[in-house]
Structures are given as C-alpha cells and as structure tokens.
Amino acid sequence: MRKNIAAGNWKMNLAFEEAKSLSEHVSNVQVADGTEVILGVPFPYLEQIQKVIASNPGVHVAAQNCHQEAKGAYTGEVSLGMLASIGIKTVILGHSERRAYQKETDELLAQKVKAALQAGFKVIFCCGESLETREAGEHFDFVEGQLRNSLFDLEAKDWKQIVIAYEPIWAIGTGVTASPEQAQEIHAHIRTLLKNTFNEQVAEETSILYGGSVKPANAKELFSKSDIDGGLVGGASLKAADFEQIIKSF
C-alpha cells in the first residue's frame, strides 16, 4: 500500500526562528495512518528542525539537494555522508529550479539518485514540463524522457526508496494549477510507465505527488484522484495553517 505524502519544499525561505515556529506547529498536527509529512528544509537548519519534529513519528525532514560524490574539493556542496551524520535520510532531487538555475541534467541526476540510494536515502525525484512543451502536446514524451534518463536504469527493488513528484513548471509559484483531470492524466501515464518498465508492484507501490501551486482550496480535490498520492508544496508549506489544512486533505 503506497503512502499519502504531504511534502513541503521551503526552498530558500525563512529565518531560523520562523522555521522553528513553523516546524513546531507541524509537529503538533495529528498525521493520519498511511500518511507521511516531509519538510524540505534549507541546509543550515536541518539538524535543529530534525530535533523539533522528533516527537511526531509521522513528520520527517528532507534535504533539498546533495552532491553525487562522497567527498572532495566541491566548495559549497553537501554530501550524503554529511546529511546522514545528522540523521537526515531523505533528499529532494531534480527540482525544476535546480535544473534551470544550476543546469542540472538528467545524466547528473542519475548519478545523484544512484549515490543517494547506495547511501540508504529515500529520494523525492521531481519531473515536469514547461508551458511550451505542454502547449505543443509533448508533455507525456518529455516527462517520460526525464524519468527514463535518470531512473529507468534502476532495479525494481530500488523503487521502495523512490517517490516521484510531478511538477508542471508552468504551475510552480504562478498561482496556476493543473486541473485535477490534467494532473490525474499525467500521473496515470507515469504509473503506466512504471508498470511497463518494471512491474505492477512497482507501479502500485510508488507514491506520485503533484506539485504546482497546491493550496488548501485545491488539495482535497487533487488528492482524491486515484493516481495522485499527495503533494510537493511550495508557498503554502511556509504558512502553518495552510500546510496543516493540506496535511488534513487526504
């Protein structure tokens, strides 16, 4: 049985006291059975926020990125070993903003995913198309290419540690949301790809999240779709009351 997941990606936001207050609020939310809450926390706060949420077994902390190498002369980078040493075991990879601003390629992300899995991490892997790609009717092929290039060399057993987050770039931070029907259509497409590439068990057990202006007003309808298992939430995850409502939308 795959989990419902409410993941909040804080990106480069919040001073520490704000982050602490937000995580304290989230740690006091009653998380339903079969649901997991994940906070994508900036690097400087990871250890402290991990301690804040420790009292709630349904809430976890994720890093927003990692380097593919174990160590070395990579100024400003953070290794999986460093993250593991402070108790972090989940990492977000392939977010469209890192693809765009840091020029992360499918090939680089394949290296990062394999390194993360070998280190025992859970990976939230992001994929999604631009507005131009969507309007050209090429979104199915584009997302399939992202997954095939970065994930489809894995073995079926590796998928126990993978969560997919489909994020249409045209809906991230814009206030525009894919309709529940549009989101369901491509989530179902992704699940069919997993079934055809690996097996039915992988397809049925892999959580697929929607990301793209998820908010309390649309979360319940999005999450009610059969192939949408939750959300990777941006702006609304920075507001305690809004994120609590999203957590309770399953």
Average pLDDT of the chain to the nearest whole number:
97
pLDDT band at 191 (very low <50, low <70, confident <90, very high): very high
Average pLDDT, stretch 57-77? 98
Return the axis-axis angle of helices 16-27 and 240-247, rounded to nearest 10°: 30
Residue 83, number of CB atoms within 10 A of its CB: 24
Tokens, residue 98? 């890192």
Residue 126, phi then psi, degrees to nearest 5: -95, 140
Average pLDDT, stretch 144-165? 98
Q: What is the DSSP letter of 153?
A: T
Q: Does residue 244 have an active-site annotation?
A: no
As a whole number of angstroms, the distance between CA 166 and CA 225 comes to 14
pTM beyond cutoff 0.85: yes
As a whole number of angstroms, the distance between CA 80 and CA 77 comes to 10
Q: Does residue 67 have an active-site annotation?
A: no
Q: b/e string for 27-45 if b means 16 or more Cβ within 10 A?
A: bebebeeebbbbbbbbeeb
Average pLDDT, stretch 161-180? 90
Which among 36, 104, 129, 167 is annotated as catalytic? 167
Element (H, E) at 38: strand 35-41
pLDDT for 80 equals 98
Delineate the domains of the chain, giving CATH numbers in brackets.
4-247 (3.20.20.70)
As a whole number of angstroms, the distance between CA 26 and CA 37 comes to 9
Residue 176 pLDDT > 90: no
Which among 60, 95, 139, 187 is annotated as catalytic? 95
- Residue 215 corresponds to which amino acid? K
